[in-house]
Amino acid sequence: MHQVFLNLITNAIEAMAVTDRAHLLRVTSDIDSNSSGVVVTVEDSGTGIDKKNEARIFETFFSTKPAGMGMGLAICRSAIESHGGSLKVSANNPYGTRVHVVLPSGG
């Protein structure tokens, strides 16, 4: 999980290569009321995900980064799912991306 969250936070930081607004990174945790699991959310104020790429961001070898390998999000999702969790991405308001990781509490 360390590598998963390191990758998600690194992606958020790299997405904030914008000059017209503040760079805001927020990592929060909460209890998922639907599953009694833990929800960790990583939010950024970066460029966001282009609508044309939304369906592809978890594909292996797909990247929007010039030097990206396209492995990070696919590996993150696989690791989270192997622990019984889920990873979802949505737009952050008004800018950027919000990544939701839900993991079972283990209790």
Spatial separation of the C-alpha atoms in residues 4 and 101, rounded to whole Å: 10
Pair of tokens at residue 61: 């070898």
pLDDT digits (tens, 9 = 90+) for 11-31: 999 999 989 999 999 999 999
pLDDT digits (tens, 9 = 90+) for 65-88: 777 777 889 999 999 999 999 999
pTM for the model: 0.88
Specify whether the CB–CB gap between 40 and 103 falls below 8 A: yes
Q: Which one of 3.40.50.720, 3.30.565.10, 3.20.20.100, 3.20.10.10 gives the CATH number of domain 2-103?
A: 3.30.565.10
Spatial separation of the C-alpha atoms in residues 29 and 4, rounded to whole Å: 15
